[in-house]
Structure 1
Amino acid sequence: MVSVFESNGESEDYKSLIRKNFSSILRGITEGDIGFDIINSDYQVKFQNSLLESEFGKYRGELCFDYYLKRKKPCKNCPIMKAVKENRIVIQVIPTPNGRFFRLISIPLKRDDHHITECLNLVEDFTHRKHLEKKLTNLNEVKKNFMNRVSHELKTPLTMIKGNLELLSSAKTKLNFKIMHIISDIRNAYSRLESSVKDILLATELDSKMITVKLKRANLSKILKEIASELSPLAQTRKVNIKLDLHSELKAQFDPFLLKIGFKNIIKNGINNINRERGKILIKSEVSENLITISIKDNGIGFEEDEKRDIFKKFSKIEHYGKGYNISIQGLGLGLYISKEVLNLHDYKLKLHSKGRNQGSTFRIIIPFS
């Protein structure tokens, strides 16, 4: 709340001096692109600084809706009157007849008698920003249409490849070992390509803010157990033991489809980055009064400090090729980026702890309890 000329024990001469020079003080504040004026409860412009004078011409007690907007009547939802009547600051973007936009911050002014009959209005030209917002909206629409087209063009041939592979695998005629080996290689290549396509499409949706989170109250323990089961073949291949230490019921609000992808990428990252014969991953839950904490701890190669800063960036991949580590180096470097973005959409916090190379790592996901 702004109080103008309110007595705080100053001498009458001092208050008189302030009153006399108040307009000059306000008029001198012209730094930047912010204009301001004072309008009373009768819609009359009582003061404006030089920036507004140069923009609209010198005022002579005109009515604000006529002077600024060339209207015959006050605006239906006038922010100035709302600020005066409700005794609060009101912020609103106002369009003008010539296609420009101004952001108005209306601040009620309290006089000596404590009545509020005027408003100090800060005026900022918002036209450029509104045009940028419109361009961004159009760009997102183009991007959305493009991704729909790309999705169709990539998924259709992949579906055909998968269907033909299944036909070959189920053929009654016996195929020789060499052909079966080729089919197996094609199936593995198909799986990798399908996974990469899905990651690219999902990362693009997340990056463009085009994805919709469908929240529902569900049991997080069930999701984590499903992930552990689905990743069991990969874990066995990598000689990694996945241990679960979870509460039977972990009720929370989340999108089951998206959150499953987010957690799965983190656990899969742990499996692929274990560089020892007896790899271990522990998935543990802790419950406090207001929070659920899920920790995913591995005894893999860990992260250096500079790697921890970059690992959640899009296409960021810590390359260990040729360094003697027995780890998987497949993938585009999108997994942890997707996990981070998915958790952000849920307002969950993700923290990474690692003491360095060959010290393992722990990912902690902090979830509001519901």
Structure 2
Amino acid sequence: MNRRHVLAAPAGAALLATPNLAAAQPRIRWRCPGSFPKSLDTLYGTQEFIARRVSEMTDGAFQIQPFGPGELVPALQVLDAVSGGNVECGYTSGYYYLGKDPSLAIVTCLPFGLSSRQHWAWLTHGGGRDLYAEVYRDQGVVGIPAGNTAAQMGGWFRKEIRTVDDLKGLKFRIAGYGGNVLGKLGVITQQIGGPDIYPALERGVIDGAEWVGPHDDEKLGFQRVAQYYYYPGWWEYSPSIDLMVNAKAHDDLPAQYKAVLAAACTEAWHWMAARYDVLNPAALRRLIAGGTQLRGFPRPVLEACYRATQEFHGEIGAGNARFKRIHEKWDAFRIEQTQWLRVAEDSLGNFLAVQTAQR
């Protein structure tokens, strides 16, 4: 007897008995329109990242095809398309649709809100996901956190903002409830999809616009049509972007695919924030070198905006019980986190900033 053949037989038999796992998985194809221009390698790039990771983790059995704004649906109608079952999922921000429910603004971010680190803690351990699931359920979708830009800039202006009075009559593109707050201070706000901001600014339809930060803003060319670049973007400290999935489509997914989708979105959330942290500093240096005038909002302007924010949130809560309930929990979390990080991190961060400036 050939002993080597006998010893090899069990291994060979096991190999023949191994199923083709990729072939055994159901093959699913989804379409995913998004709200962000394809020219933006981090915002739209994250939409592509999710599709790629889902495919990789299922050996190609679960495919998501990303689309840019206007290819399937307009930039600000993604939620409607997903909710109506016209597409299986979409990549967008909840606060684009706050007219449907004011609580959708909290899903993305609120003015003077949470940092990206605090936001993730709120979503995963502070009860945020459960509260948001209730909001999205009424829209017929399942919302999965799938991106975060981290801290944003305060936007581009044709003129300097020295006092609160300089805001009066200003025509400004902004999304979310930051626009309502600025409206209290005399700003005329407009919500315009990403691809349409530059032409509106160029033609003078608006006097200023906010988008994300140096990397994206440079790509969109805002520095060519506005001179002053302000910080901080107090209305969007760390907006969370969601993969919105049609509720029935999500229910019909095998448990394994639901887990894969959740894992890919978690990766994407951190991938986006980290990528912006790497790309924004160099882009800001280029903008300044090219003539952009970097300005910080004067403290009296920030204080006026903060007071208007608290007043506005109170007004919304008075008219909407769910917003009031979610906001109260969110705000308590925000205050506690702010005090904790003031001790644990901000003190060292401020010290290091001074030391670095002195080098």
TM-score bracket for the superposition, by shorter chain length: under 0.3
TM-score by length of 1: 0.20
Q: Which of structures 1 and 2 has the larger relative contact order (alpha carbons within 8 angstroms, sep 6+)? A: 2
Greater strand content: 1
TM-score by length of 2: 0.20
